[in-house]
Amino acid sequence: MRKYEKKEITKVERAYLETSITCNKCGKTKQLEGEDYEREWQSNVFQSFTTHFGYGTRHDTEKWNFDLCEDCLTELVRSFKHLPDGFREG
């Protein structure tokens, strides 16, 4: 038979908070401040993209991560021959 003693354990967690976000195309930077939710709201003017290239492509097995500000994203989308569903000029 085993007996147990209750013991409280405090778990230490390490979190990394974003301090800024920079557009990979134009270089515009936004400093993020405040609580987690405030930083998330502030970063909403940037969009993050991830793309994976498959075997046999020019960028065989590469994975790219980048961020674009709203202005650069809008400029990019306006250059499309076929605009995406939901895109509105603005």
Predicted confidence (pLDDT) per residue in 67-81, tens digit: 999 999 999 999 999
Helices (H) and strands (E) in the chain, counts: 2, 4
pLDDT at 84: 94
The domain in which residue 25 lies consists of: 20-78
Does some domain include residue 86? no
Distances (CA, A) of 9 to 4, 6, 22, 34, 40: 15, 10, 39, 29, 31
Across 11-31, average pLDDT: 89
pLDDT band at 6, cuts 50/70/90? confident
For 36-85, what is each residue's pLDDT tens digit? 889 889 999 999 999 999 999 999 999 999 999 999 999 999 999 999 99
Both tokens of 53, joined, read: 């290239």
Q: Global pTM?
A: 0.76
Query: What distances in angstroms separate CA 6 from CA 2, 9, 44, one per listed residue?
Result: 13, 10, 45
In a domain, 61, yes or no: yes
The single residue listed with the structure tokens 């940037």 is 46
Residue 8 lies in a domain: no
Residue 32's identity, in one-letter code, is L
Number of domains composing the chain: 1
